[in-house]
Every structure is written in structure tokens, then in C-alpha cells.
Chains A and B, each alone.
Chain A
Amino acid sequence: MTLLEVDDIVSGYGDAIIVDGAHLDVEAGEMVTVIGPNGAGKSTFLKTIVGLLRIRDGSVRFDGEDITGVPAEDAIDYGICYVPQTENVFPNLTVRENLKMGAWTLDDGLFEDRTQRVFERFPELEGRMDALAGNLSGGQQQMVAVGAALMLDPELLILDEPSAGLAPDLVEDMFEKVEEINDTGTTILMVEQNARRALESSDRGIVLDMGETHMQGTGSELLNSEEIAELYLGT
């Protein structure tokens, strides 16, 4: 079943069109990675899907429903949670308060239960519940960001460069966590600079270039393509 269908969307900032006709399908339960060079419009693509940026053309469907133009604060009602690349925690709020904000639309009764699940995924956070998120290490902040998004148990988790800014030994951890989350049935769409590693975990990948979908295929197809290797993966 197709969970997310993005058709020929166009968006940008002011007069600058950044995403220009990109398309993408994500099947339920899949992990899909968007790769592409710097400035290809990957982050803008995600922001447009979740409604942070106005969509100028094209359409977005989720679970068969048209969600084109649905603003960001309503996207989570459909079961879509998005973790931005930077500024993805509230620095002056404690970890507990960050998780509470992640659970804003959730019944209060479910809060403790969901928090426990986040601890199971990220045990390091349990002892830091009352620390300000802004005082945590980069890796822990990333855990808070993903943890807050998991509070609603989303159907689709959208991650913008989850490994960005992490120390090399934490990058592998983060990819493993993302795989685990995917294994529990959460569909994942992510953008990654660390393209080779991301494609290894992914069912499928798409290459975004100049704001358009340039190519798509399974993770291994893209990894084995000479053109992709040369243009987008480095050597």
C-alpha cells in the first residue's frame, strides 16, 4: 500500500524556486532515503511535504487522503512526524518538557507509557529528564529530537539528516536506531548526507538534483550504479 505519494511538487523561498517538480512514493513500512548534492533542495523537499513551506504546485497524498497545503501544525494529526536537521529541540526546555511537547496532541494518560518507550529506545535520556535540552551533547539532543517525534507513535517519521553533526562513532548508532524504529513498523523517509550508509539500510532511494527527482531505485541498485557512485556518493 502506498502511504505517501508526492507528485510534481514545486516550492521555494520568495522568488527562488528550490523544489521544481520532485516526486516520490513511499510504501507503508518502507525506509526511503533521499540523496543528492548540496543545494539540491532535499531539506526544502521535506519541509514542503510537512507543510512548513507553502506548496506552489503539485500534490501530496497520505494514506489515500489529499494533504496538499495542510499546515505543519495539522500534519501530525495524520500521523506524520518530522525531525528537522537543526534546531530540532527546544533548548530552554528540559528533556521531559521536550517530550511533553512532542506529546502535545496525545491523551495525557498515554504520556508515561510513551516516555518509557522512548527510554527503551534511548536509555541515556532516562537520567537526563530534568536537564535543559540545550545543555545536552549533540548526540543526546538528536535523541531528544527523535524521541519527541516518537511520542505520537507516528505512521511516517521524516528525518532530515539524522546523522548530521554527530561524532563518527555515534553515526552508526543513530543508523541502527533508525533501522530499529523502522523494524517496529514505522515508515521512514529521510534525507542523508551520509548517502552510502543510509542507502545500505534503506529499501529504496531517490536522487534529488536541481529540485527534481533524478533517479530512483532500491538501495542496492543505487549503491551499485556507476553513475550514482561517481556523481553523488563520492569514492
Chain B
Amino acid sequence: MAGLDPQFIWFGIVSGSLIALGALGLTLIFGILDFINIAYGEYMALGAFVAFSLNVEFGLPLFVGAIVGALVVGPVAIALDKAVFQHFRNRSAIVLLVVSIGLSFVLRNVIRIVWGSGSKRFDVPIEEAPTYFGVRILADQVGIVVLSLCVLGGTYLLLRRTDVGIAMRAASDDTDLARLRGIDTERLVLYVWLIGGVIAGTAGVMLGLDAQLRPTMGFTALIPIFAAVILGGIGDPVGAVVGGYAIGILQEASVVVIPSEYKPLIGLILLVVGLLTRPDGLFGEATR
């Protein structure tokens, strides 16, 4: 290989941040609820479109739109749980998976009805990227990476340092034992939807900032996110983040050897290879 251009590493870190964030939210939800929520892609898109409305239609600064867009998805995720998932709580993971596919279709088309199916952009100036150390670095990209690291770090502290966070990890390990300890697991479920929803919304806004907004944007982004979740060991937040960055960097670096339109294939390949070789994840152990 003719030396890996640091430019691709930077692109990889940017996509890795997006994938890691999406994977974190998805894996947290899986940890407690034990099913993969396909509608998660639409949660991301929803955050992006709410931010778009505030930013473009109401002319507010993007950061205001981004904050509201991200925060609004939390309560929406709780409401959708109450309206839909709660009725299937004790059903098998397959039933819940199918329900979430249905919800995904419905939400995607609601987004189409409200915002139209064309692609959209946030109202941010298109600027010439300054070059540092031979790498073109956009301010938007720096924003994506820094904000991701803040959300990832904040979530890590929440899971390690707060009682509610430790209880979430406990319930993720063993729901019955958590109940025996007197932990109200139904209330934890609400917290997890709230946090997972806000993370999805944040990821969606940044996805829109990195490229364009489309009703299918979240759904399309799901493959590498799934790959990161599986690679990290499903339900393992740290693994999901490491998996996210690994896939992001590999995906961008792959353009050195394969045409860039095949980039998304990397996520799919890693997903398959991951499932075949390390079904318990990179750091997989028999405890899960």
C-alpha cells in the first residue's frame, strides 16, 4: 500500500464518531430490553429533521436546533415505548424485532409526509477546508468529533459513576437479579429510552451535518452501526464504541484499495465476519 494518507484516517475518525455514537445508543437499549430496535435509524433521522426545521425554517442557529433536535428524541422514544413496545415486553426478541421493523416503516413515512422526500442541508456556510499537517479539516468535522467524544465520555461516566448507571449495567447483566435487589426495572427502561433516544438524536443531527438529510438517512446508516454493535459484543457499550471507530477508520481507509462507492460494503463484511468468528464480540466472554 502506497502509505495510508492521513486524510483518510481523519475521515475515518469522523465517520467512526458517528457510528460509535449510533452504536452506543442501540447497544444500551439492547442491554436492557434484549431486542434490536430497527426503528432506531428513524430516531436518528427524526433528530436531524427537527434540527433542520428550527435551523432552516425558523432561522435559528444550528446549535440551538441541534440541541432541541437531540433532546426531543428522548421523550419520543419513551412515548413510542409506551405506545408500541411496552405491549410486547415479555414476547420473544424476534417478535420485538418485527414490531420494530414495522415501526421503522411507519416513522420513515411520517418523516416523508412532514418534511418531503427530497434531500436537505442544514444552513451552514460552505467553506474552504483549512489544512493542518497536510490534512484538510472542516470545522463541522471537528464539531462532530468533539461532540461525539463529549457524549461518549458523559455516557461512560453515567454508567460507571452514578447509581442509576450502575443499575442499568446490572439490569443489562441480569434483569431478574436486578429486580431481586429492589431495582424498579420498568423505570430503568424509561431512563434507557431517554438516554438512548437523545444519543440517537445527537447522532442524527451530526449525520445530517456530515452529509445531507433524507428520510432514509438513518436507515442507511444502520448497517455499519449494527456491525459496530455486533463487533463490540451486543449489549457492551465500550465494545460498541471501539467497534464504531474501527469500522469508521477501516471504511475510509478502504478507498485506497476499492472504489469509494463500495465503502459501505466494509461494514457489511465486518458484520458477517464478526458474526462468524466472534459472535460474543471483540472482547467476548462467556459471561453474557
User: CB within 8 Å of B: which residues of A?
Assistant: 50, 52, 71-77, 81-82, 84, 87-93, 97, 100-102, 104-105, 134, 148
Task: For the complex, give the distance between the alpha carbons of A105 and B184 in Å.
Answer: 10
Task: For the complex, give the distance between the alpha carbons of A74 and B285 in Å.
Answer: 32
Closest-by-CB residue of B relative to A89 is B177
Given pairs A72-B179, A87-B176, A148-B181, 7 additional interface contacts (CB within 8 A): A87-B174, A87-B177, A90-B178, A92-B172, A92-B173, A93-B166, A102-B181
Q: Residue B45 at the A interface, CB < 8 A? A: no
Chain A residues whose CB sits within 8 angstroms of the CB of B131 once the complex forms: none
Task: For the complex, give the distance between the alpha carbons of A100 and B180 in Å.
Answer: 13
Chain B contact surface mostly: helix
20 A-B pairs within 8 Å (CB atoms) are namely: A52-B176, A71-B179, A73-B179, A73-B181, A73-B184, A82-B180, A87-B176, A88-B177, A90-B169, A90-B170, A91-B173, A92-B173, A92-B287, A93-B173, A100-B166, A101-B178, A101-B181, A101-B183, A104-B167, A104-B181
Within 8 Å by CB of A84, from B177, B285, B287, lies: B177
Contact assessment for B169 and A76 in the assembled complex, using a CB-CB cutoff below 8 Å: no
Chain B residues whose CB sits within 8 angstroms of the CB of A82 once the complex forms: 180
Give a binary string over B261-286; 1 marks a CB under 8 Å from any A CB, 0 the rest.
00000000000000000000000010
Tell me which of B166, B170, B180, B184 has the highest count of chain A C-beta atoms within 10 A of its own C-beta.
B180
Whole-angstrom distance between the Cβ of A50 and the nearest chain B Cβ: 7
Chain A residues whose CB sits within 8 angstroms of the CB of B288 once the complex forms: 91-92
Task: For the complex, give the distance between the alpha carbons of A43 and B285 in Å.
Answer: 27
Give a binary string over B169-200; 1 marks a CB under 8 Å from any A CB, 0 the rest.
11011101111111111000000000000000
Q: Residue B128 at the A interface, CB < 8 A? A: no
Q: Residue B57 at the A interface, CB < 8 A? A: no
Contact assessment for B180 and A73 in the assembled complex, using a CB-CB cutoff below 8 Å: yes
Chain A residues whose CB sits within 8 angstroms of the CB of B287 once the complex forms: 91-92, 134
Contact assessment for A101 and B176 in the assembled complex, using a CB-CB cutoff below 8 Å: no
Q: Residue B163 at the A interface, CB < 8 A? A: yes
Closest-by-CB residue of B relative to A90 is B173
